[in-house]
C-alpha cells in the first residue's frame, strides 16, 4: 500500500513478523533495568525519596521538614501511578516498574499511532525503537513521559476518526486532555497543539477552511482551561503564583542547543551509547530519505512542529530543557508516520538490521554504565549513617579545576545529582535538592524550615558558597535580588545547614581547609562534611544545628 491510501480508518490486520520484531526491540531496550538495583536516571533517586515522604506515617520525623499537601496540580502522573504500587512493592522495585512503564507506554503509543495510519506495521516503524531511551527518560521526567504516551495514544485515536468534528468527539477530547493535563501540563499542551495542527493540515487547505476547522476544535479544550484556573486557585498562598512574573522574565533561548534537538530523542547520558544512537539514526534517516515519505495526514503537522521546536525557549524560570524534552513528541510521530516499504526483501532486512543493531549496541554499552552508577549509589548508602537523624543537608559541587595536587582523575558521573536525597529515606533528613514545591509537587517544606533553607534548586556550585569569603562576592550579594538562588544559598549557609554533601566533580581535597567544615566520610562520588556552627553570644550553637537530634 502506498502513501495514497485512505486518510482515515485503515482496516486493522493481525500482528505479523514486524510487530514481533518491534516487541523484541522493546524488550532489549528495558534489559538494563534487570542488571541493577537502581535505574540510572537523573531524578529517579529524587522520586524515590519523595515517595518515601508521601508514604511515611504521619508521626514520622521526616515530617518535621516536609509537609504533604495534596491539591490539584498539573504534574501528578508519577504519583498517580507509583503510590498504588508502594503497597505491593519496595520503593526500589516501584522505581524500576515506573521506568519500565515509561518505555513500554511510549512504545505502545507509537505503535498505536502507526497502526492508526497504516493497515500493517511497516518495517520503518522498527526505527522508532531507537527513540524509546531518550533525554526525558535519562532525566527521569516520568510524569512527562507518561503524559506524552497518553497524548500520543490520543493522537492515534483522533487519526482513526473521520476529519469532521462532532459533539461526541469534542466531549471525549475534553476528558482525555483534562486527564493528561493532570498527568503533566507539557504533555497536554503538546496534544492540544498536535490536534490543532492536524485540523489545519486536513484537505482542503484554503485559509478560510483551515481557520474554520481551528475554531471548531476549540470547544474540545474547555475542560483543560477550566482545570488550569482551578489549579491556580488551589495553589497555597505562601508559595506565590504558579507562573509568576519572575518566571516569565527568566526566559532563556539557546541557539546552540537547537543542534541537540535530534540527539535529545535518543540521549542516554553516556557518550558511547549516544554515538551508537547517532550513527544508526543517521543511517535510518538516509534510508527514509531515499525511499520514504510521511503519511499525508501528518506532513504539515511535522513541518509545523519543527518550527515550534526552533522557536521554543530552552528554559522558563526554573523549568529547563523545554525544547529538548518536547522533541520526543514529534520525533515519535515522525517515526510512526513513514510509509516506506522496500520492494526487495534485502531492503526490508537491511532496515530491520539497522534498528536491531542500534538497540543491541546501545543496550550492551548501557549495562556496564548502569552497573557503575549502581556501585556509586551503594557506596554512598554505605557511609550515610554518619549523618545524624533529623539534620539539614546542603548539596554542592566541588571546584572544577583539578590542580596539580589532585591525584584523582577528573570525573563527572552524569546521574549522581540526587544521590544525597537518599538521606531523606535513611536519616529523615532535609536535603536541599529534594523536589518539594507546592506549585509542582504535593510536598512542600514544613513551616519549621520554610524561609531558612532553600529547596529544589539543584546542586550549588562551590563558587556560590564562597561568595561571602571575598569582598567582591559580598558586594555582589548586597546588590543581588533577594530571591536569587546564589543569594539565598550564599548568605549564612553555614548557620542554616548541619551537613554539606560535596559532589566530587574533580577532587574534594582541593577544598581549602577552613573553620567550620569537618570531613566525616567519603563515597565514590560525594564527600560529606559536618558543619560546625558559630556560637551565639550566649555560647550556644546558632542556626540549623538545632535540628539535630
DSSP secondary structure of 74-143: S--HHHHHHHHHHTTS-HHHHHHHHHHHHHHHHHHHHHHHHHHH-SS--GGGGGGGGGSS-HHHHHT-HH
First to last CA, the chain: 71
**pLDDT of the residue at 544:** 44
Residue pLDDT, tens place only, 508-537: 555 655 657 888 999 988 989 999 876 544
**pLDDT of the residue at 472:** 77
Residue keyed to cell 493540515: 201
Report phi then psi at 47, rounded to 5.
-60, -40
**pLDDT of the residue at 27:** 96
pLDDT band, residue 422 (cuts 50/70/90): very high
293 vs 137 pLDDT, higher one: 137
Does residue 450 surpass a pLDDT of 90?
no
**Residues 18 and 355: beta-carbon distance below 8 Å:** no
Per-domain residue ranges for the chain? 17-35+70-236+252-370, 383-547
233 vs 359 pLDDT, higher one: 359
- Collect all residues with Cβ–Cβ distance below 8 Å to 6 and sequence separation of at least 6: none
**pLDDT of the residue at 411:** 58
Residue pLDDT, tens place only, 318-327: 678 888 999 9
Burial of 58 (0-12, 13-18, 19+ CB in 10 A): exposed
How many of the other CB atoms lie within 10 Å of CB of 540?
A: 10
Q: Determine what percent of the chain falls in helix, strand and coil, rounding each to the nearest 5.
A: 60, 10, 35
What does DSSP say about strands 526-531 and 430-431: parallel, antiparallel, or unpaired?
Answer: unpaired
pLDDT band, residue 246 (cuts 50/70/90): very low
**pLDDT of the residue at 536:** 42
CA distance linking residue 6 with residue 328, whole number of Å: 27
Report phi then psi at 113, rounded to 5.
-65, -45
Q: Which of 367, 407, 388 is nearest to 521 (CA)?
A: 388
pLDDT band, residue 452 (cuts 50/70/90): low
**Residues 537 and 431: beta-carbon distance below 8 Å:** no
CA distance linking residue 35 with residue 491, whole number of Å: 43
The alpha carbon dihedral of 389, 394, 400, 404 has a sign of: negative
**pLDDT of the residue at 451:** 67
Does residue 400 surpass a pLDDT of 70?
no
Our CA dihedral for 389, 395, 401, 404, rounded to 10 degrees, sits at 0
CA 402 vs CA 374, 495, 508, 514: distances in Å: 25, 29, 9, 19
Averaged pLDDT, 287-308: 82
Does residue 307 surpass a pLDDT of 70?
yes
Q: Mean pLDDT lowest for which of 119-123, 245-249, 306-310?
A: 245-249
Percent of the chain's residues with pLDDT above 70: 80
pLDDT band, residue 540 (cuts 50/70/90): very low
245 vs 487 pLDDT, higher one: 487
CA max distance for the chain = 88
Q: Mean pLDDT lowest for which of 293-302, 362-371, 419-428?
A: 293-302
Averaged pLDDT, 80-92: 95
DSSP 8-state code for residue 506? S
Averaged pLDDT, 227-250: 65
Residue pLDDT, tens place only, 55-70: 999 999 999 999 998 8
Averaged pLDDT, 448-476: 74
- Collect all residues with Cβ–Cβ distance below 8 Å to 208 and sequence separation of at least 6: none
Residue pLDDT, tens place only, 317-363: 667 888 899 999 999 999 898 876 555 667 677 778 888 888 999 99
The alpha carbon dihedral of 175, 179, 180, 184 has a sign of: positive
| Range ranked top by mean pLDDT from 26-40, 204-218, 276-290 | 26-40
Instruction: Locate 385 and state its grid cell.
Output: 549513617
Please report which residue ranges of 237-344 form alpha helices under DSSP H. Answer: 245-249, 271-291, 299-311, 322-326, 328-337
199 vs 29 pLDDT, higher one: 29
Residue pLDDT, tens place only, 91-137: 999 999 999 999 999 999 999 999 999 888 888 889 899 999 999 99
CA 169 vs CA 48, 70, 108, 251, 412: distances in Å: 38, 32, 22, 36, 50
Does residue 248 surpass a pLDDT of 70?
no
**pLDDT of the residue at 85:** 96
Residue pLDDT, tens place only, 133-187: 999 999 999 999 999 999 999 999 999 887 778 899 999 999 999 999 999 999 9
**pLDDT of the residue at 541:** 41
Percent of the chain's residues with pLDDT above 90: 43
**pLDDT of the residue at 515:** 59
CA distance linking residue 266 with residue 135, whole number of Å: 7
CA distance linking residue 293 with residue 46, whole number of Å: 42
**pLDDT of the residue at 476:** 72
CA distance linking residue 357 with residue 361, whole number of Å: 6
CA 246 vs CA 47, 150, 317: distances in Å: 27, 31, 7
**pLDDT of the residue at 434:** 92
Amino acid at each position: 500500500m502506498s502513501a495514497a491510501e485512505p486518510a482515515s480508518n485503515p482496516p486493522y490486520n493481525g500482528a505479523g513478523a514486524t510487530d514481533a520484531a518491534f516487541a523484541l526491540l522493546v524488550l532489549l531496550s528495558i534489559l538494563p533495568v534487570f542488571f541493577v538495583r537502581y535505574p540510572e536516571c537523573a531524578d529517579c533517586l529524587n522520586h524515590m525519596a519523595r515517595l518515601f515522604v508521601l508514604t511515611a506515617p504521619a508521626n514520622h520525623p521526616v515530617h518535621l521538614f516536609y509537609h504533604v499537601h495534596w491539591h490539584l496540580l498539573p504534574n501528578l502522573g508519577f504519583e498517580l501511578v507509583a503510590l498504588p504500587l508502594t503497597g505491593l512493592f519496595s520503593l526500589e522495585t516501584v522505581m524500576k516498574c515506573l521506568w519500565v512503564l515509561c518505555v513500554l507506554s511510549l512504545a505502545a503509543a507509537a505503535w498505536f499511532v502507526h497502526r492508526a495510519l497504516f493497515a500493517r506495521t511497516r518495517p520503518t516503524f522498527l526505527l522508532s525503537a531507537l527513540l524509546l531511551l531518550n533525554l526525558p527518560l535519562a532525566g527521569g521526567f516520568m510524569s512527562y513521559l507518561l503524559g506524552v504516551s497518553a497524548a500520543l495514544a490520543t493522537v492515534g485515536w483522533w487519526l482513526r476518526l473521520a476529519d469532521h468534528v462532532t459533539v461526541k468527539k469534542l466531549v471525549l477530547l475534553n476528558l482525555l486532555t483534562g486527564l493528561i493535563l493532570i498527568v503533566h501540563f507539557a504533555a497536554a499542551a503538546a496534544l492540544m497543539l498536535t490536534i490543532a495542527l492536524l485540523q489545519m493540515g486536513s484537505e482542503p487547505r484554503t485559509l478560510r477552511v483551515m481557520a474554520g476547522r481551528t475554531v471548531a476544535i476549540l470547544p474540545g479544550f474547555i475542560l483543560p482551561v477550566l482545570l488550569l484556573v482551578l489549579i491556580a486557585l488551589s495553589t497555597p498562598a505562601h508559595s506565590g503564583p504558579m507562573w509568576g512574573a519572575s518566571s516569565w522574565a527568566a526566559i532563556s533561548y539557546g541557539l546552540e542547543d537547537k543542534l541537540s534537538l535530534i540527539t535529545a530523542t535518543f540521549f542516554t547520558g553516556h557518550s558511547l551509547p549516544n554515538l551508537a544512537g547517532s550513527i544508526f539514526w543517521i543511517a535510518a534517516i538516509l534510508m527514509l530519505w531515499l525511499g520514504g515519505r510521511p503519511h499525508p495526514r501528518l506532513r504539515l503537522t511535522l513541518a509545523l512542529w519543527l518550527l515550534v521546536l526552533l522557536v521554543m525557549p530552552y528554559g522558563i524560570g526554573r523549568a529547563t530543557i523545554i525544547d529538548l524534552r518536547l522533541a520526543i513528541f514529534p520525533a515519535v510521530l515522525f517515526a510512526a508516520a513513514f510509509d516506506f516499504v522496500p520492494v526487495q526483501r534485502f531492503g526490508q532486512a537491511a532496515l530491520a538490521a539497522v534498528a536491531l543493531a542500534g538497540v543491541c549496541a546501545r543496550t550492551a554499552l548501557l549495562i556496564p554504565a548502569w552497573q557503575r552508577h549502581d556501585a556509586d549509589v551503594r557506596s554512598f548508602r554505605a557511609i550515610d549513617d554518619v549523618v545524624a537523624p533529623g539534620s539539614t543537608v546542603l548539596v554542592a559541587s566541588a571546584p572544577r579545576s583539578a590542580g596539580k595536587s589532585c591525584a584523582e582523575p577528573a570525573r563527572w558521573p552524569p546521574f549522581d545529582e540526587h544521590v544525597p536525597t537518599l538521606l531523606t529515606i535513611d536519616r529523615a533528613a532535609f536535603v536541599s535538592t529534594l523536589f518539594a514545591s507546592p506549585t509542582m509537587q504535593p510536598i512542600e517544606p514544613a513551616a519549621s524550615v520554610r524561609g531558612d533553607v532553600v529547596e529544589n534548586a539543584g546542586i550549588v556550585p562551590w563558587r556560590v558558597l564562597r561568595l561571602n569569603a571575598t569582598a567582591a562576592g559580598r558586594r555582589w550579594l548586597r546588590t543581588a535580588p533577594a530571591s536569587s538562588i546564589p543569594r539565598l544559598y550564599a548568605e549564612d549557609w553555614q548557620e542554616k545547614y548541619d551537613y554539606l554533601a560535596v559532589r566530587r566533580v574533580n577532587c574534594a581535597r582541593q577544598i581549602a581547609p577552613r573553620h567550620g567544615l569537618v570531613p566525616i566520610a567519603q563515597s565514590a562520588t560525594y564527600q560529606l562534611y559536618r558543619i560546625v556552627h558559630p556560637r551565639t553570644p550566649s555560647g550556644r550553637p546558632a542556626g540549623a544545628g538545632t535540628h539535630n537530634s
